[in-house]
Every structure is written in structure tokens, then in C-alpha cells.
Structure 1
Amino acid sequence: MAIGSLSKLYYLSFRNNRLSGHIPPSLGNLSSLVSLDLLGNTLDGSIPEELGQLEKLQYLTIDGNKCLGKIPYILYNLSSIQVFGVGRNRLYGSLPPQLGLFLPNLEQLYVGGNRFTGPIPVSLGNASNLFILDLGDNNFTGSMPMSIGWLKGLKLLRASYNQLVSEKDEEFTFITSLTNCSVLEKLHLSHNKFSGILPNSIANLSAQLSIMHLGGNQVFGAIPSGIENLAHMISLRMENNLLGGTIPIQLMKLNKLQYVVLAGNKLSGKIPNPIGNLTQLHLLRLSINNLHGSTPRSLGKCQHLQLLHLSDNNLNGTIPKEFSDIPSLLELDISMNNLIGFLPSDIYKLKNLFRLDTSNNELSGEIPKTIGTCVHLEYLYMKGNLFHGSIPPSVGTLRGLQELDLSHNDLIGHVPDDLAQLPILEYLNLSFNNLEGEVPKQGIFQNASAVSVLGNNKLCGGISELHLPQCPKKDFKKEWPISRKVLILIAIVAALLSFLLLCLLLVWSKKSREKLVSTLSMGDNFLRVTYAELFRATNGFSSTNLIGVGRYGSVYKGIIDRMEMIVAIKVLKLQQQRASKSFRDECRALRSIQHRNIVKVFTVYSTFNLISGNDFKALVLEYMPNGSLDNWLHQSENELHPLKILNLIQRLNLAIDIACALDYLHNHCRPPLVHCDLKPSNILLDDDMVAHVSDFGLATIISEGINYSQCQTNSLTPKGSIGYIAPEYGTGANPSTYGDVYSYGILLLEMVTGKRPSDDLFKDDFGLHQFAKMALPESVMDIVDRRLLSEDIDIIRHNRNNNRVNSMVHECLVSLVKIGVSCSVESPRARKEMKDVIAELQKVRNFYLAATIARNV
């Protein structure tokens, strides 16, 4: 039966589906229809005139489709219409002058995001019930009708991104007309051609006003001091106008402000010191003005600040050290000022910072070595200052760095080799310093168009396209006689010492019941411990100190008294089959590893009793106070910390951390390693919620250049944990980087969905990969872990006035699931490489941060 024959149907909704094609004209036969909701599909073609036959229709929404053409004039005869939504389509033409008279019961009008032209109908002021009016993102011309001010119930007015002008050039009088709208909450007039002085009547706007966006116009004059009356203001944007005068101190009384954007004006004077009273600030943009004086230290009180842009002013003095106390800071741009002094060494506290720009100031001193602890930095610009000293090697540990500009300073020393190992670095400018020595030829240094080293006259080598002189060859002939004597002397001394040491060991082994086999250093920081110290550190390996139990060992928390160091001590269960081999494999793997996202091993301890033959083997590891990722993902409400929930940005950061560790193991560690047992319980979290990959008991050293997807092994036991093991391992394939990528894909899907791959839901051939793949793209919200994005999910499901932000958040989640699915496909060759995963995840994170900022504006 055709849907058009359901004459008694009064409610029809296909909201947010995947419908395509044209809107059926037969819908005009539904004579009883009161509500028709087609929002959020991909319907195209014109809006059928037959809908004008629905005389009882009150609710019509066709928003978010691809409909073309003009609105059929007959629809304006539906006088019962209360909600009329055709926003975000491809409609054109003009609105009829009598629109407000034709639709006297109109409450909500959505025509934004189309191609409408002509004037905005003055008659809209006659639709006295209208409380939402969305005209944005079109090409409307003329002035805003003063009659809009007659709408006393108006709550939202959006007319941004049009070609609207003021009635008079002297004053922006339309603002004054809105003072009659006593419940107005959101006012969007940005990116038009409004001009004139911003009137003092702004003080008389609705006390409920929370959003006022006037950016991208030609409004001039001072910001009225009466703005302090707008006590509920959350978002204030007046960027890219011609505003002058000072920032009124009265603005600092609006303590609910979260977003303040005044960039691109002609503001002068100082930044008011009471700006620290705006403790709810998330975003502050004052760039491109004429502000002077010092930067207020009180900004350190704004503990929720994420973006701070003060560039292109005349600010002087030093960078307040209080900036380092803002834990949420993501972007800090203080470029193009007159700042002096040092970059605060406390910058290491800014763990979430991903963009730092101090360019074109007069900053001096050395670049802090602690910059390497800002592990999420992606863009670092420090050009045009007076920085001296060498480039700290810690810059080479910023694995997420995409752009680095240190040009036009007084830096000396060599170009750090680690810069060539940064996996996604796309732009590097070291020009006009005093660097010397050989330029690397690997990594980004292979691309002359992405690297600049001009003006460093002592540099040499590099690829030919850099046009640097060849490095001189060292002449060892003159030094050889001296070196030979030294070598002979060293050899004699070493032989004598070795002989004496061997004698001592033989004597000691006869007198002692226990013999120390080996205490192996796992790096330069060699921690020497005794069995007695490990025993005391763990209270005799007490169960109260036990923090984890694995396949081949138990992990205890301990304190090495003499060093006041908290460590984790992994004691091997040597009675377990393969435990000794696991111990040897882990030692061998960890000996060559050094990366911020891999758990540090301080030392390895192994003894055996010559009489009883009992062995004791342990690894002394860096202690991770926040436990494993598994505990965070799968804690129940009955556990001790039910409120410890990972939100989306935290999970994104952790996913990037883990990906960076794998990329290091696969591509930058020598020799390359395959972890073979990646899962949430093997991901540990430090104080700053940075992820560290642990447990290398199954790790395998691989040889480069081998096609592992085609190799077979004689092992009948696949390496890994059930649910995370790559399918090719089950058929005898050798351990490979492809297998780690598969495990990572499953882990990422687990982080997004909150479901283990061993969940009861997954049986036979239906697993977490298939579960996620089937949800793409429209049903992703149905599989997402509700704890991950509860606030944003509420917005997506209930906020119908912010569709652009809704789609941004949804797109982030879809991208995450797609990455997880593409990493866990059955064919090894079809899986992504970790460097590409890192780049994609960082794009998702940046996109989501933009969405969170846009969500409230």
C-alpha cells in the first residue's frame, strides 16, 4: 500500500535516516497530516507543490537535505503552520513580502543555509508568536527590518553570513529595536555589512542574552560600558570590526563569560587586570589590536582557558609564569609583540598544549629543555627572537610535531638527529641562526621544500638540494700514534681488572649460598638494587602491595628507601611454562627502547641459589599511579571510583600516545620490534594521563624488508591475547607489524564502544570489528560508550538548533570508528600504517576541539 493512501495518518517522521531521491508528491494526499518531519536525509529535487494541500499541517521540517529550486508559493497558504523548516538545502529565490501575514501562527522559521536573496520581509514582525528566526548563511540584502523588534517572545535570531546593511551609517540602530525583545537569548548578526556606532542601547538588551555575535562587520566606536548589564552573557564576539577605545573594565563583571573574541579591531590601552575574574573563560582572542602594557598575571586564574590569542599588539614585559598554571591550555599565541625575558621553564606543566607561538618578540635565554614534556605539541613557532644556546634534544621527542620554526634567533650547536625521526613533521625552519655541523639526510631532511637552513654558514652535508658544502673528512693519521698508545694501555688495564674480578667472583661463589647472576642496565640511568631492597620495598612481596597479576608474573608496588623512589616490581612466575623465555625476550626487547610512551625499565634483577636451585627474576619498572587503561574503560558503578570516566578528548590523547609508541617500535627503534600483546591491560597511565605501553614478554625483534604477511612460522601457538590476535596468526603467520596494527584497531574500537572483544554479544564470526563496521556511518551514536561523550550525546539527540556542531561531533566519532575498522580488517596488507593513524587521529582531535568551542557559541 502506497504511503500516500494513509488518509488518517497525522504524524509522519523519517528524521535522520539515509533516505534519498525526491520527496513523493503523493504525501499531499495525507489530508489528516499534522506533522511532516524529513530532517537529516539526502533528499533532492524540488519541494512538491502537492504539500500545499495539507491544510492541517502545523509542523514541516525538511532541513538538512539537498532540495533544489524555490519554495512552492502554495506552501505559504498553510496558515496553520507553526514550525517551517527548510534550512540547509540548496533553495533559492526570495521570501514573499507578506510572509508574516500568510503564516500568522508561525513560531519557528528555519531558512538558513540556502541561497536565498532579496530583502528580509518586514511582515515577519506580524508573526507575533515567532520565537526562533534563522536566516543565516544566505545572500539576503537590504537592512534588517525594525519590525523584528516587535517580536517580544523572540529567543533566537540568526542572520549571520548575509549581505545585510544598516539603515543609517551613523549608528547601528537595529540593535536598539531589539531592546523590546525581553526574552532574547541568542543574537547572531556576524559577517554582514552592518556599520555605524555600536549604540549605548546595548545595555538595554534582554537580561537573558547569552550569545551576541557581531563579528565581521564595519561597526565602530567604543564598546559601551553598559554591557555590564548583560549578566548572563556566555559568548561575546565582535571580531574584525572597527571598534576603538579601551576594553571596558565593566566587561570583567560578566563572570559567566566563556568566549570573548575582540580580535581585529582598533582597541587600545591595557588589558584590564581584573580579567582574571572571568574564571569560566574557555577562549580569549584579543589579537590584531593596539593594546599595550604588560600581560595580566591574573589570567592564570582562568583555569578553564583553552585558547589564548594575544598576538599582533604592542604588549611588553615578560611572559607571566602563571600561564604555566593553566592546565587546560591548548593554544597560546603571543607572537608579534614586544615581550622580553625568558620562556618560563614551567612550560612543562602545559601537558595539553598543541600550539605555541612566541614569534617576533624579543625573548631571550635558552629554549627550555622541559619543552619536550609538552607531549601533545603539534605546532611550535619561536622565530624572530633572541634565543641562544643549542636546540634541546627534547624537541626531538615531540612525536606529534607537524611544524617547527626556530628561525632568526642566535641558536648554536648541531641540528639534533632526532628531528629526522619525527614521524609527521611537515615543516622545519632553522634558518638564520649559528648552527654548525652535518645536516641529517633522513626524515623531513629528505624534502628540501619542507626544510630551510639558510643563513647558517657552518652547516654542511645534507641532501644536494639544500646546496650546503660537503662536510670535511677527519684526518686520523696524526692522532694515530697517540691513540694507539692509549688503546694499548687501556687494553692492559682492562685485562688486569678482568682477571682480578674473575678471581674475586670465584672466591665469593664458594663462600656464598646465593650467587648474583646478572643485574642488567636498561639504559644510562642504571639502578643498582639488591634482593633485600626489593624485599623491603614490597613488604616481603605482600599481597597488600600487589597491583597486578599477569600470565607470567605478578606486579608489586614498592618504595626504594635510599632513593625515595616509587617503582613497580614485576616478579616472574618461573614455575609457569615459557616464563623464563618471556623474561629473556622482554629483557632483550627493552634493552634498545627509549620512548616517552613506553614504560621505562630501571633495571633487571636475577639470582639463583646454588644449593636449592631456586631462581628469582624481576624487572624494576617505572610506577604508573593511574593504573591500566583496562581499569578505566571497564570499571563498574560499584567500584571505588565510579566517577573516574575518560571523556572523548582523553581517549583521543591516549589513542595517539599508543599509536606513537607502536610507530616508534615499528619504524624508529633499532632493531624494529613487534609488541605482539597489545591490549588495554598492557597500557598504563601516568600522573598526567599519558599512556605507556608495557609488558614486552611476547615482543619479537624483526628484520626489515621481510614480507610478514606471506611468511609462515612453525609455532602452533599464536602470540597475543584472545580477541586482539590478528587472524593470520591463527594460520601460522610470523609476528609482524600488521599484527600489532590489528590489535591496535580492536583496542581503539574498544575505547570508543566500551565493549571488550570477548563480550557475550560477539559469537562465531561476529566480532567487535563487524559490530563497529555495521554501524558506519549513521548508527555510530548507537554503539558509542555512553560515558565517553554524555554531554555531547545529549546535544546531538536533543539540541535541534545547532545542527552544524552536531554533525561535527558525529563526524569525529565516525572518523574514529573508521580508523579502528580499517586497522582491524582481515587482510594484513589492507591495514593502515601507524604513522598514517597518528596523522588521522590528530586531525580528529583538532576537529573535535573546534567542535567543542563552537558548541557553546
Structure 2
Amino acid sequence: MATLLPNLENFYVPFNQLTGSLPPSLSNASSMVQLQLQVNNFTGSVPSMASSHNLLRLNIAENFLGSGKVNGDDLGFLSTLTNARKLQALVISINNFGGNLPEQIGNLSSSIEILVLDNNQISGSIPEGLQNLVNLEVLLANGNKLSGAKSLSIIGNMQSLVQLRLDNNDIAGYVPLSIGNLNRLLVLRLANNYLDGGIPTAIQNCKSLKLLDLSNNNLSGVIPTQLMGLTSLSMGLNLSYNHFTGSIPIEVENLKNLGSLDLSHNMLSDSIPRSLGKCVSLESVRLQANLLRGTIPLSLDSLRGIRLFDLSNNNLSGQIPKFFEQMHSLQLLNLSYNKFEGEVLTEGVLNNSIIILVIGNVNLCGGLPGLNLPPCNLRRPKKRLSYKWKVCISTVSSMILLIFIASSLLVFWMKSKGKQHIVSSGDDFHTRVSYQSLHKATNGFSTTNLIGVGSFGSVYKGVVNINGEEITIAVKVFNLQHSGASKSFMTECEVLKNIRHRNLVRILTVCSGVDYQGNDFKALVYEFVVNGSLENWLHPVESVDDPPRHLKFHQRLNVAINIASALDYIHNLGETPIVHCDLKPDNVLLDEDMVAHVGDFGLARFLESPGETSSSIGIKGTVEYGMGNEISIEGDMYSFGILLLEMFTGRRPIDESFSDGVNLQNFVNTALLGQGSPISKVVDPILLNEILHGRIPEKALISILEIGVACSFDSPQERLNSSEVLTRLNRQLALLMIFSKPKREAKGL
């Protein structure tokens, strides 16, 4: 190749089915700047790259390169890359490279920022020279056979690290004090190793940390209170499968942004701290298999976003709190093998025996038939009320009745004054942001700041200074010359001012005034969501300078769960059901943690009740509304089903390959029924590689496609609702976790 094309600078052939070995002529590719060969079926060894002086990026991930031999020379080519003095990114993950990392890896370009080595057969210690790569931001070496007690102490000197993954290796020793030097670190995963000792208090210096996973090690001692001071933790804290003792620190209340807490399978004692109820962002709490005692604190009533709550295999007692019935996001409540007593709840979300598990609590009774508990003794001793108590109760009841009547009259009077709350809300916001400040923040709404154009306006990226701190924002400017733009502005204000959920785009403020020409000006100001729209990830525009990004299977599944969670919130959990009416990849944004946020409520409608519908005439939203169907929650679920199919097939709803009445829904459905194309021809080719490599079971893909089809049935009454979808998708996520269970369990340890 390099012989025929000596001036070739960019060779980009990812996501194909290319086979064979890499051409030896790569050794002569002196002009090569980018070499992208990922996700193919290449085998054999990697030739010398000694002549590639200008190389910036090398990506050979997800092939079958290397022999996997412990004493082989699979990684010898890394030593030849020391001549590439401009190298910025090196990705060799998910291959079969064996042997030790060469010492010369420390002589790679000082400009290198990304080094990805995960899921190979690499063994031995991490070379000390690696700490010379002072600008390295991403180091992923998980899923190998790395060992050595000094491996982690080297990492502590690499202060530019933002993401560090060494999980699923054989690394022993202690978590070094120098870990506190990594104050830029966002993600730290050291799970499934053989680490001893405790968590150093220096961890408190990792002020940017969003995810910490130290699970499946031999760590011991108490959980340091300093760890609970990391208010930046949002993605997760996982200390499970260790030997921690003592109590859960009451300082856990500081973790108000934390989404997932896993302290299971330790030896933690004492009671569950009441302060845990202040962690209002929690969606998953796993405290099972400890020595916890006492009752469930009533303060946990505030954890209304909880999906999974596992307290099984402890010594907890008392009655099951009634507030669990009102946790509408709850998908699983496991209270098995404790000492709970009394009647099991059957109202609200607990009117489903799949959600609650109570086996092994001998003093429980009642509940749903599926729980197989004995009936409760309904005989209770009757107590006669004294005359004083009767008078007291009568007086209080009368007062409550009077208050209720007065409140009703007040509400009626306020409603009769007219619905002015949108305008007043806009006026309140208007005092906080001006046209001038937004004009300055976006460089005069310049085209270089333009990041999107929609039906009713344009979106600009901007930077504002608040209390001396620069904050990036997204400004949606409405084109008021467009019919319906003003109404869209008012609709978004009305919808977004009263809802708040981690999977909805967050509105910061609004601007309603005039521009420098005296024309009316209306804009919404949002938090800037750094990774852009789901559309750009599913259907990227290829560019040599900016190679397309792709989502892996588990990322797509998590995004689907995020979207379903947002729909469940607006459909079922707010004061008034809201129909989005325009759910599509363009209106789903991904943040830096790849968490999805649903946005653009300009076409949204309020319903008085979940079963209500209204006309969709004039609505130019997603497919079903475009066909004139009624606006309903079921319409949103149709859009979600099509979106889910698009995410896992990589095909648009009306793909150019479809003809003769075929659309995405029936294309997938006929394949599932075995009457059309095989599943291998339906799935996104990018995901097919994960299935062929055995990392994802085909059954999981089929189950997700079935959910998409069931959401987009022609009959609205037959479609799944958002709660059912959440349950099914979370079940698939749990099965995937079992499929990729920790190495130690696989070894039988």
C-alpha cells in the first residue's frame, strides 16, 4: 500500500469486514498521518511503524491481531512508534495481543493524550517509563492480565489523567497515596484486581471525580469520611465485594449528585444513616450482604428517583415503610433475608409481585398472592375512645374542613384571574438575562457559534461569566417571523418551568425583549450538552479531520433507558401528563458521561389525564403525528419504539433501502418472525462485531428489538407504556451485567 501510494496521509477503512494480515508495506508509510483500521477482521502481527514520523493517530481496535502468547512479541511494534514524535492517540483495544508492554512505551511522544490497550492478553507490570507521558489524559488498560504491586504507584505521577481504567487485571498491592495527585481525574476504575489495605484519605484531593469503582478487591478497614466529601461524584460509587467494616459514614449526605451507590457484599454494620435520604439523585442503591441492622429510615422517602433498592441479606427489622408505594420509578425492591415484620404493602408501584422480593422474612404476612406469604391476622383489639378524644377529633376535623373550603375558594379565585403564569415567569427570568448579554456570549450570534437549526429557530453555543466562572451555554433563538415560533417559545416555557429530571435538558433562564434593531427577541438558555445530539452519533458525517464516533451496545442500551426514564417522568410522574410530540434523535442530547437528555418541548402538549388525547392537526412532529394521528402518550411511545429500532439497526425510519410499503417497524418485525432478512442483516454492522466477538449475546439484541416493535404497533392500545419499557430495558441491562460477570466469580473464587 505505502509502496503504491507513498504520499498517502490518511487511510480510513473502519467498520468493514476486511480480512487478512496488515501489509508489510506499512513500514514505509512515512507520510501517514492517520491510520484507522478499527472494527475489521485483520489477523496476524502489526508490522514495524518506524518510518511513520508524521503519525498522529493509530487505531487498530476490534480486530483479531496478535497471538495471545505470554512470551510472544505481539507488542514489539509499540517500540517502533517512538519515532512518531507527533503521536496523539494510540488505540489497540479488543484484539489478541499478548506479552509484556515494552519499556520503550515510556519513550512515545510526549504529545500523546490517548492510550487505549483494553481487552487483550497483555501481562506483566506497567513499565515505569509510562509516567514520562506527562500529557496523557486517557489510559484504558482494563481486561488484561497486568500484575505487579508497583503498577499503581507509577500512575499516581501522571497528573494529566482524566480517565483511568485498570479494572479486570491481576494487580496487587495498595491504592497509593499519590492517587491524590490526580486532581483532573473524572473516572477511576480499579475493580476486579487483588488490591489490599484501605482507601487512602488522599482520595479527597480528586475533586473532579465522577465515577469511582474499587469493587471486587481485598480492600478493608472503614470507609473514610473524606471519600464522602467528593461532591463531584455523580456517575457512581462502587465499593462492593470487599471487606469494609464499620458503619456507612453519615457524611454520605454530601453526595447529592450521586446516581448509583453500591456498598454490597462487605461487613458494614450499624444502621442505615438517615442522611442517605439527602442523596436525592440516587437511582440505584445496593447495600445487600452486609451486617446492617435497625429499621429503614423514613428519610429515604425523598429518594423518589430510585429504580433499584437492594437491602437483602442483612439484619434489618421493623415494618416495610409505606413510602415505597409512591416511588414511581422503582423497578426492584429486594428486602429478602432480613427480619422485617408486619403486612407487606400492595398499593402503588408495589402492586406488582415482580418489583418486590421479601423471601426469608418469617414474620411478614399478606401481600400479593405471588409472594406466597401467610395471611395477616385481621383481629385487632378494639379500643374505646374517651369523651375528650372524641371532642378533640371532632374539633380538628371541623378546622380541616374549613381550611379545605377556604383553599378551594382561593384557588378558584386565582384561576378566574386568567392564566398569566407563563408571562410572569418569563418576566422573572427576563430580569436575569438580557439580549445584550446573550449577544456578547455568542459573539453576536455568529455562524461560528451556530450549532443547530430547527423548525422555529437556531441554537448557538455561548460562554457567560457568572461569579468569575465561565460557563458554556446553549442559546435557542426563536425566529419570530416563522408562524408558530412564538407559541413554541411559550409552550417550552410552560413545560420546562415545572419539570426537572436528570434525563431532561435543563433550562437555565429565558430572554424576552428586543434586539438592537428594535425587533422582538425571544430565546431560551440551556445548559450546554457537550457530546451533541444522538443523531450525530447514529448517523455521523464522515470526515478525515474529525473521524465519526460510534456508540457501543451497552451505551445504546443506557441511552434507551435514559430516554424511557424521561418519558416515564413526563407521562406519569408530574402533576399533569405531558406529551413530547417530537421525540427523535435530533432532540436527544448526550452529555460528557454519555447520559441522554431529552429536549425541544416546543411541540409538547399537556393532557388532563394519561388516557386523554387531542388533535394533532398542525403538529409537524415525529412520524405518527405527521400522519395526523391524535396526540397521546401512546403517540410518544410509537416515536420511542421507532427511535429504539433506529438506535440498534442504524437505519432511519424511512431508509432508502426500503420499498413496496416496507418501513423500519415491519422490516424488523418480519426479521424477528423469521420471515424476512436474518437478524445479522438487520442489526447495525457496528454492533454485529460485538456479537460476533461474543461480548454481547444475540438474545439481548432480539429482546430490545422486540421492545421497539411492541412500542410501535399500529394499534395504540397494544403498545407498551413507558413503565413497562423501563422494566424490560433494565432487565436486559441486568442480564448483560450477569453475562459479563466479574473475573473472580468466573474463576470460582
TM-score grouping bracket, smaller chain normalisation? 0.5 to 0.7
After TM superposition, the score normalised by the length of structure 1 is 0.52
**Residue from 716, 739, 754 that aligns with 2:617:** 716
Matched, 1:589 2:495: yes
Deviations 1:664-691 (A, max 9, x none): 1122222221211111110112222211
Matched, 1:272 2:149: yes
Deviations 1:86-126 (A, max 9, x none): xxxxxxxxxxxxxxxxxxxxxxxxxxxxxxxxxxxxxxxxx
CA distance in structure 1 between the aligned counterparts of 2:229 and 2:708, rounded to whole angstroms: 38
Stretches of structure 2 lacking an aligned partner (at least 5 in a row): 1-65, 75-96, 102-122, 128-140, 156-163, 342-346, 349-363, 367-375, 377-388, 404-409, 411-422
Shift of 1:749: 1.4
1:844 aligns to what?
732
Matched, 1:743 2:610: no
CA distance in structure 2 between the aligned counterparts of 1:852 and 1:772, rounded to whole angstroms: 27
Letter in 2 for 1:642: P
1:785 aligns to what?
684
Shift of 1:209: 12
1:528 aligns to what?
432
Letter in 1 for 2:627: G
Letter in 1 for 2:646: E
1:332 aligns to what?
215
1:655 aligns to what?
560
Matched, 1:615 2:524: no
Label 1:375 to 1:314 Cα distance change in 2 as closer, same or farther (>3 A). closer
Label 1:771 to 1:439 Cα distance change in 2 as closer, same or farther (>3 A). closer
Name the stretch that deviates more: 551-560 or 445-454.
445-454
Label 1:631 to 1:365 Cα distance change in 2 as closer, same or farther (>3 A). same
Secondary structure of the residue aligned to 1:536 is helix
Shift of 1:764: 5.4
Shift of 1:441: 4.6
**Residue from 245, 251, 261 that aligns with 1:361:** 245
CA distance in structure 2 between the aligned counterparts of 1:562 and 1:592, rounded to whole angstroms: 24
After TM superposition, the score normalised by the length of structure 2 is 0.59
Q: Larger RCO: Structure 1 or Structure 2 (Cα < 8 Å, ≥ 6 residues apart)?
A: 2
Bigger-Rg structure (1/2): 1
2:168 aligns to what?
283
CA distance in structure 1 between the aligned counterparts of 2:495 and 2:333, rounded to whole angstroms: 35
Letter in 2 for 1:757: P
Q: Map of 1:274-353 to 2, 5 A cutoff? A: 274=151, 281-284=166-169, 295-296=175-176, 308-309=191-192, 315-316=197-198, 318=200, 321=203, 332-333=215-216, 337-342=220-225, 343-346=227-230, 348-349=232-233, 351=235
Secondary structure of the residue aligned to 1:739 is helix
Letter in 2 for 1:740: D
Deviations 1:564-603 (A, max 9, x none): 3221111111222222222222111112111111111112
Shift of 1:809: 3.1
CA distance in structure 2 between the aligned counterparts of 1:850 and 1:412, rounded to whole angstroms: 28
Matched, 1:560 2:464: yes
Secondary structure of the residue aligned to 1:519 is helix
Name the stretch that deviates more: 599-608 or 653-662.
599-608
Shift of 1:832: 2.0
Letter in 1 for 2:221: N
Given that 2:228 and 2:254 are in contact with CA atoms closer than 8 Å, whether structure 1 keeps it comes out as no
Given that 1:414 and 1:435 are in contact with CA atoms closer than 8 Å, whether structure 2 keeps it comes out as no
Secondary structure of the residue aligned to 1:645 is coil
Label 1:431 to 1:625 Cα distance change in 2 as closer, same or farther (>3 A). same
Letter in 1 for 2:521: F
2:573 aligns to what?
668
Shift of 1:551: 0.7
1:757 aligns to what?
653
Label 1:652 to 1:518 Cα distance change in 2 as closer, same or farther (>3 A). closer
**Residue from 408, 413, 420 that aligns with 2:292:** 408
Label 1:340 to 1:393 Cα distance change in 2 as closer, same or farther (>3 A). closer
1:689 aligns to what?
594
Deviations 1:620-679 (A, max 9, x none): 111112211111221222274224222222222222211211111122222221211111
Shift of 1:410: 9.6
CA distance in structure 2 between the aligned counterparts of 1:314 and 1:832, rounded to whole angstroms: 48
1:646 aligns to what?
551
CA distance in structure 1 between the aligned counterparts of 2:508 and 2:126, rounded to whole angstroms: 52
Label 1:569 to 1:260 Cα distance change in 2 as closer, same or farther (>3 A). same
Given that 2:459 and 2:474 are in contact with CA atoms closer than 8 Å, whether structure 1 keeps it comes out as yes
Q: How many residues align?
A: 547
2:108 aligns to what?
none
Shift of 1:814: 2.1
Across the aligned residues of Structure 1 and Structure 2, the Cα RMSD in angstroms comes to 5.5
CA distance in structure 2 between the aligned counterparts of 1:517 and 1:277, rounded to whole angstroms: 58
Secondary structure of the residue aligned to 2:191 is strand
Label 1:737 to 1:391 Cα distance change in 2 as closer, same or farther (>3 A). farther
Label 1:664 to 1:612 Cα distance change in 2 as closer, same or farther (>3 A). same
Given that 1:377 and 1:398 are in contact with CA atoms closer than 8 Å, whether structure 2 keeps it comes out as yes
Matched, 1:539 2:430: no
Secondary structure of the residue aligned to 1:624 is coil
Deviations 1:234-280 (A, max 9, x none): 9xxxxxxxxxxxxxxxx954889945699xxxxxxxx9354667998
Letter in 2 for 1:341: P
CA distance in structure 2 between the aligned counterparts of 1:604 and 1:651, rounded to whole angstroms: 32
Secondary structure of the residue aligned to 1:415 is helix
Shift of 1:560: 2.3
Given that 1:367 and 1:388 are in contact with CA atoms closer than 8 Å, whether structure 2 keeps it comes out as no
1:519 aligns to what?
426
CA distance in structure 1 between the aligned counterparts of 2:146 and 2:673, rounded to whole angstroms: 35
2:114 aligns to what?
none
Given that 1:415 and 1:437 are in contact with CA atoms closer than 8 Å, whether structure 2 keeps it comes out as no
2:540 aligns to what?
635
CA distance in structure 2 between the aligned counterparts of 1:774 and 1:328, rounded to whole angstroms: 41
Deviations 1:815-857 (A, max 9, x none): 2222222222222222222233233333433444555679999
CA distance in structure 2 between the aligned counterparts of 1:257 and 1:416, rounded to whole angstroms: 36
**Residue from 564, 570, 585 that aligns with 1:680:** 585
**Residue from 448, 454, 465 that aligns with 1:550:** 454
CA distance in structure 1 between the aligned counterparts of 2:569 and 2:266, rounded to whole angstroms: 27
**Residue from 692, 703, 711 that aligns with 1:815:** 703
Deviations 1:795-824 (A, max 9, x none): 44xxxxxxxx37x53223222222222222
**Residue from 375, 394, 402 that aligns with 2:259:** 375
2:17 aligns to what?
none
Secondary structure of the residue aligned to 2:224 is strand
CA distance in structure 2 between the aligned counterparts of 1:777 and 1:379, rounded to whole angstroms: 43
CA distance in structure 2 between the aligned counterparts of 1:455 and 1:670, rounded to whole angstroms: 33
CA distance in structure 1 between the aligned counterparts of 2:332 and 2:548, rounded to whole angstroms: 48
Secondary structure of the residue aligned to 1:308 is coil
Given that 1:595 and 1:661 are in contact with CA atoms closer than 8 Å, whether structure 2 keeps it comes out as yes
Secondary structure of the residue aligned to 1:631 is helix
Given that 1:773 and 1:821 are in contact with CA atoms closer than 8 Å, whether structure 2 keeps it comes out as yes
CA distance in structure 2 between the aligned counterparts of 1:421 and 1:548, rounded to whole angstroms: 31
Q: Map of 1:117-156 to 2, 5 A cutoff? A: none
Shift of 1:697: 0.9
Deviations 1:188-247 (A, max 9, x none): xxxxxxxxxxxxxxxxxx84599xxxxxxxxxxxxxxxxxxx98389xxxxxxxxxxxxx
Shift of 1:738: 1.5
CA distance in structure 2 between the aligned counterparts of 1:852 and 1:253, rounded to whole angstroms: 25
Matched, 1:730 2:618: no
